[in-house]
A and B are shown apart, each in its own frame.
Chain A
């Protein structure tokens, strides 16, 4: 796959712009999924997804193939969405670290691994109260099934830092569900 993508990039850089369609078809949905969870508005997300592909096209010659194209475009998507969201200064629920430390891992595991269908809506609503970084973490790790190393690369963090943040976010969700502060 990597070889095929490198070959397409080479062709696009040689002036065969039509070949770029491959990347929009292949990664458009994934980029949109990430952005829509950060910015929440569907219209804004669509506009930003287009901007991401424009930026990637303009910066294509800077792509060094040190990471996969997918990681590279996710990184552009994440930065674009974060910049757009910072302007709107969206509210997110803050929680003290000390408070989260009191929550046991087993309880969190039990709740988040539950088969209870009613919990889905509650968790969905609770996720809307998380910060954009936390929603990005969950989307990349749980929805896109990206490994920790790739999540870290996209978000510009260390792998250890991603682990800690994921751990905190799971606890935060647990607390919101238990205290019913998700609506």
Chain B
């Protein structure tokens, strides 16, 4: 087998004879296309984030209502009895409400910082 690093001058000349070149505004046109694609991608990302935030908020609300009903339902039913006031269940309920309130506050904060224009 021959040495591939040799000159092969005629072959190089023939390859260089092809004078076709890119038009001068190629970079400008390509960058326009890329900027448009980047903008679309950003908009899609923001839509996905908003949808995720809404879904998360709904889950938190539904779970919160469920938990409150589970722990505090009997409390409201038996508000008239003295025993219910000394029960520990309301304390758990209050803890759960505080917990979800904190999560909600945190998510709102993140949204405000990262995507203020969406709120």
Could you tell me which A residues sit within 8 Å of B by CB distance? 15, 17-18, 20-21, 24-25, 28-29, 32-33, 36-37, 42, 45-46, 49-50, 53-54, 57-58, 105, 108-109, 111-117, 119-121, 123-124, 127, 138-139, 141-143, 148, 163-164, 166-167, 170, 173
Contact = CB atoms under 8 A, between A and B. Distances in A.
B2 A105 contact: yes
Contacts of A148: 4
By DSSP majority rule, is chain B's interface helix, strand, loop, or mixed?
helix
Interface of B: 1-2, 4, 6-18, 20-23, 26-27, 29-31, 33-35, 37-38, 42
9 closest pairs, A vs B, by CB? A123-B14, A143-B15, A17-B38, A112-B8, A124-B14, A105-B2, A24-B27, A114-B10, A120-B13
Given A29-B22, A58-B37, A163-B4, A21 B10 contact: no
Nearest to B23: A46
A108 B12 contact: no
Given A20-B34, A124-B14, A127-B15, 14 more contacts: A17-B38, A32-B20, A33-B18, A45-B20, A46-B23, A53-B30, A54-B34, A57-B38, A109-B2, A112-B10, A123-B13, A138-B15, A163-B4, A164-B1
**Which of B12, B30, B38 has the most chain A CB within a 10 Å cutoff?**
B30
Contact of B34 (A17, A105, A111): A17
A143 B9 CA distance: 11
By DSSP majority rule, is chain A's interface helix, strand, loop, or mixed?
helix
A29 B21 contact: yes
Contact of A50 (B2, B10, B12, B29): B29
A167 B5 CA distance: 12
A112 B11 contact: yes
B11 A28 contact: no
Nearest to B42: A15
A113 B26 contact: no
